[in-house]
Structure 1
Amino acid sequence: MKSAKRALWPLWLAGTATCLPAPAWSQTKPTTPVAQVASVAFERFTLPNGLTALVHTDHSSPSVFVGLWYKTGSRDEPPGKTGFAHLFEHLMFQSTAHRPQEYMAALKAIGAVGANGMTRTDDTVYFETVPTNALDSVLWLESDRMGYLDGGITQGLLDEQRRVVLNEKRQGELRPEEMAWRHFLTAFYPAGHPYAHPTIGSTEDIEGATLDDVKRWFQGHYGAGNAVLVLSGDIDVATAREKITRYFGAIRPGTPISRPLQWTPSLTETRRDRLYGDFAQTGISRSWPIPNTSPRDTTLLLLAARAMAGPKDAPLVRALVTDAKVATGVTATVNESALGSILNVAIALRPGVSPEVAEHALDAALADYAAKGPPPSRLQSIIAATDASLLRSLDDHGAVGNRLGEGEVAHGDPAYFLKQRTWINEARPDDVRTVAAKWLDRPYYELVTMPVPDRQAASADVDRSHMPPPGPFKSQIVFPPVTTMTLANGLKLVVAQRTGTATVDLSLQFADGTLTDPGVAPTIVANAFRLLGAGARTRSGEPVEQRLSQLGIQMGAQAGPWSSAVRWSVANNRLDDSFALVADLVRHPSYPQTAVEDARADAMHGVEAKARNPFAAGMPLLNRATWGDTDPRGHIPTKQDADAVSRQRLLDYQSDHIVPGDATLYVVGDVSPERARALVEKYFGNWGGPAPHPHQPMPVAPSEAKGPRLILVDAPGAPQSSITVGTLIPPFDKDRSAAENLAVAALADIGSGRLNANLRQDKGWSYGFGGEIQDAPSGSRLFVARGTVQADRTAASLAELRREFLEFVTTRPPTEAELNAQRDTMIRAATLRYSRNAAFLDSLETSGSYHLAYDRPTTLAQRLDAVTPQAMQDSARRLLRPDALTWVVIGDLATIEPQIRALGLAPVEVWDVHGRKLR
């Protein structure tokens, strides 16, 4: 009685190779002599209650093999009931309503031998061989437990067998291989797959099994209609039919089992795991998922696996053990199961060999096997030994009965083993090579199992009673010298020369963005930049993507709300080539029609996706509520915006807006201003175009508060709610920005601010809640805070946020301690950021957009040090107006709306994700 994995080989493939002569194959057909076994006589019939019976007559011995397969296994266990099939198999050996003694005791009394049971993923089988004169006895016993076991199961028997199973489980877990097997199941199979848990189940589920649970399992899975009975031996068909009908005919049919029939894991790429444990040596196991779509191919794959490993002359053994000396052993198997099979190749590494070295050797050996296939002599030996093993087993009526039952349950064909025999005896080396190459070339799952390293910690010599204080911080940011110049066509050039850097980072920035020209749809601006290189070709005809890759250029183009840019990074020695390519893309974009259509489809999909995922709508809806639908800042993309994208409109925008008089090229790296200017003149100097469009500054919102607003959006069934809250704040002021940033950090920093400390750390209602200032070069700005909270804590979270906002500007203003903590963090983090070209490039772009000094970061520490607690508190009151907050809450309104309305936070409106007011 045990749980088992489906055998990795059919029984008749388990024989070892023998020294039988094996002639070479001809080009037309195999000439290996094959013993004639035309058929194995058996009778198959079905009782009215659904029981399938198979009878094979062999009077050579006065005994009968009795096998009973129930077509249910661990794959039929629902979540929370793992291990039930195996636990019930144990209970099947206990008493019934009519038999008080254990099943094994009754079998021994009638002279039965070889009695046992086995639970697998797909089925559970019970078997024994009895003297012919005891056939009625064993049929009574088998039919009695099939029909009436539940009448004999007691709480005491359940508890007893539960203990036995748990001890079996603990015993198995003493083997490190069991840990590896469990890891494999959960990693190889997707969540919810019937094979993703071990047959023996989990301790929690076994301990949780109740008497009612196991009785329901019996009633639902152990009916006659779900069983196959095999009698093989000293019994004729007529007698067998009469006895089977008499003993089993009145047994309940049971309930048909609904289940998946095919579910092969899909590996789109190779996955690798490493697992440490009490393993004797390092091992590498690779597994390929194989669908059960072609039984013949699976059979040939069995041959391929058998041929690649085993004795010393096997290809993988010779390559990995004998020649490369990276392994001490190699195995190759095929695990056949109902929902899908597995090809597995595993090696045990020689001590001192790293997994990386062994993996390379294994890659080469498998590639060689896939290319050449099995040596003909090796394959012939396997086929001859396999056939001899089959023929010997046919002399045993118990083995015949087992084959008949396995064939019926697994393939719906009792004589499947004879069909398989034909496929194997007709197999040629090229057949086997073809099917092996087909699967070995696909992604696989690799598990590397390694012994826990024997490592020792040194004796402690550190005082752990307190942390050593850090030394003096180097808080001064060193900015490279910046040179500015302007070309005749109006293009500005800004060069920050950083000597000693191997790469150069560049940004061609335009003062046009998605919000700067109300007459141009934001989708046109966005795609005019995003598609500059998409699907395009260079002047020589090669794809742009290919040329970028050849030159090692990382390039991206993106439109922002206030400006847009083409940025690229390139090795210093490829700078000239990069200028040639980028200049061509910017000045002569092709905007291929296919790329435009893809962009239009993406935009349309984005609009549709918003309706399916309302949680992405928080910020767009806050903008709509704040700015209104006539202001570009409050616009929410629509399908009309997506339809507006056309190739001609992109070309028109490019010629009218992407012009040198509106552009600044920022260059950061080991490039002198003179070299940079020469390259710009060479590739952009003759670039013409219309005069830049005038950009009107964004308006400043009225300073008086309009009162709070509360907007609800329905997300039916959502377990969490999204909260986005914001308010208008005054325009950017370079002299106040340090105090403003410190005040906002004290309140809303995602790591250390008050809001996160309350909702995440104190209450545990949110994963994280933080906020920021959404800056703009001109016009009013927004303070925004956002996060998600438990649905049942939505109203309480809103109340806490309102309290935090109010206290921050009244009774509990930011403290000196908060000021010092946030200031130290900002200063020290900023210094670390300025270590790569990209950070300096970001700073140059920002300074250009906001009309600040290019070396402004060098004064960061001084500006932060100058902020006083009073200045921070004044900033808090100026930025945050609790009486003018706009709240956008997205969640399951059926759950959260009544409690939110009861708060009286603000007048309540209900919108949809597109900004339309519903009520």
Structure 2
Amino acid sequence: MQFLLLVLLFAVLPSAASAQPTDAVHRSVLANGLTLIVAENHSTPRVAVHLWYRVGSNNDPKDRSGFAHLFEHLMYRGSENAAGDYWNDMRRIGATGTNAGTAPDRTTYFQTVPSGALEYALWREADRMAALAPSLSQETLNSERAVVQNELRQNRAGPAGSVWTRVAAATYPGHPYARDTLGEIADLNAATVDELRAFHRRYYVPANAILVLAGDVDPTRATELVNRHFGSIPAGERISGPVAWAAPLPSPRRDVVADAVSVPRIFRIWNIPGYGTPAAIDLGLFADALQQRLEAEAGTSVAPVAAGSAYIVEQALGSQFIVDVTLTKDADLGGAEAWLTEQMETLARGALDEQIEGVAAKRRAALLARMERIGGFGGRADTLASSEGFLGDPMAWQRRLTRYASPESGAVTAAAKRWLDANHYTLAFVPASQPSNTAGQRPLVPPPITATAPFKAPDAVESRSVSGRRLAMISRPGQLAHLALILPGAERGDDRAGARSVALTALLEQPVSEGTVRQSLDRLGATVTVEEHPQAALILLRVPVDTFQRAGSILIKALRPGSLKDAVVVTAKSKIGERVFASRRNVLTLPQILLPTLYGRRAPDSETLNRVQLSDIEAMRACWRGGDLHAIYVGPDPHQSLPSLASALDALPQSNGATCAPNGTEIVRPGTVSTPMSGDQAMVLAALPLPPADTPEAAGLETALAILGANTTGRLDRILRVERGWTYGIAMTVSQNQGSRLLTLEVPVSATNVRETQAIVERELRRLGEESVTDEELRTATASIAAEKAARWETGSGAAVAIAHQTIGGTRSSDAPPTVDEVRASARQFLSREPSWILAGGN
């Protein structure tokens, strides 16, 4: 087969600290117009398969809003030569990150597979490109339409849930982006099978597609496989490329909507140039600088806002600059809007000069971190596909790195004055009592799945500092370094519930020599994320290698006693209070807030947070400095970083952690906690206690849970989503804990289906231990679990978190796959019991 070939290089900004091999990127075009991009990297035996179609909600037929998104769902229900469910098939072969996304300009499908299963994944993708239409039926349409309608309802539930539908209509009158990607229920109900088949024949063709393979793949072999499976599919017609249409508003517009918000919330939106343009890149930096100002000011006595964010959404025809602020309880709309305008003008008048290098460094680090991850939304394959699809060059993403490496404050300010002085849309939500064709030569028989080299995670090098603090280190080449700190100590469950969350926020908001801890880390290009677990918190620092020692020192020094003041605690309490208040008003998030009540403990609310004092925070920080403080480093040259890390840890005074244990770890309140809420959306949460991970009798428990509750492929998902169309997806989590753990199953459903959903969940929990598990279920779950564990090590952040979770939650006594009998025995002992329930929504 004839094809064009370009070989490009990941010329990521050179760094003496980087020992990572340069990734070769090969671009070719098949005779039928399919664009193939291969990014070769052999660090793990996995390959991201990413198919990018030039079709989105812009292409929805008249009076068929949501059509492209509905079709995305139908692509997972089997094709002519592969009738099985796509989700389950990918999980069976060890795929991770299987997903899809629809936007106005494109629809993407992706998964990351073991390298031995690459050809099989390509065969399945080719079959649903070439032969999906004949397999579409009224039954599958009805089922997926119900799922999409549940997704639509779930996305629009809760306070300010209508924001993006309103924004699209108001900011893009007469523009393709005026359509809501999710669509409207009436239009979805009118869709027919024949219309969907015609849609597939028109848009799902080689000439309209970009295929990216990233990871453990040889370009020559990849080209051979892609030609074999895609080369004989008729080319079809490529959709014309996007024509820039930023569409500045002809006049300012302001809408005020009464909704179920607790305090007013303001969105301010500007239309700006499209994806990857210099203006969009520069305005992204301006948004980050504004975000930092909003975070620094929010919750202080002089600011009328309790929380705020600023960001841009880049799309092909045009992008949007968005500011979102939540007001304090006593603030008025006019005053808050004037204050917001003043913040933006101050930034544009010169304050940006002080922030530009920090926000650019952070953007650079974030982009490098995304390119570390081969698959998923925003990963390497997605970035290469978007660069090719929107800009005609898979390496166009490097223009961002160049701009971030040498940011120009003047250019950023000029872009802000050019585009943000223009007309904009203001949308304010205020409180109200009620919320408002088959290829001839293509192989039709699935290829065999060949063996993939087993992946073994590298062993961490364990050591202790002079003071006895534990250190774990793993060498990983690259331009990023990662530090995970495990801070021992449970959240309080008394009249000061929420104290740990306040302490974690205060840790980053406390003053240092140059602003706050968070601001100082931002200037170094660092990103900090926080996880809270029953008996410990986890802080993860990701930073460019050349600034790691300074960033790590700042973070560890912040743990020293006596550095906090009352004003910092007040600010932190305000931030956590707003988050808790918003979660309690949202039907989808309320159950998680109420989980402590199952242990007979108090859940955080405004009263408990108001009682938190500086002394409570210092007590929590003393827990963190106890003997169980654990540091994990993942990055280049760990032995070079060891002395500075150990020195910083040794400088922390030891403290007694005896009072840091939780009040109780066993569920003491079985039964149902029910909170009625207005609207037609509900959330059902089932909870069961589980034994420690290393319990011998629980050898089959992880596999049993995968069979039961895996999203898109588990038994519950098949019954509630595929067969009944009641839910968009199920979330299953097991708490990270050395002792007794907690299983939670969260099912968002219509308020009319709550009781029946409870009955199905309880029945399936029992049935797993009482009835047989099939060999196919066992193989699929085993392959999926192994693949997910390997996938965590694709990035440095993932590796650091994986080690931290093993430390916090323990590990199984054996890595050997369980037998069917072990799975049933574990399910019978630990799952065949009545769960506790938290219900939100409905009556």
Per the normalisation by structure 1, the TM-score is: 0.44
Q: Which has the higher contact order (CA 8 A, sep 6+)?
A: 2
Q: Which has the larger radius of gyration?
A: 1
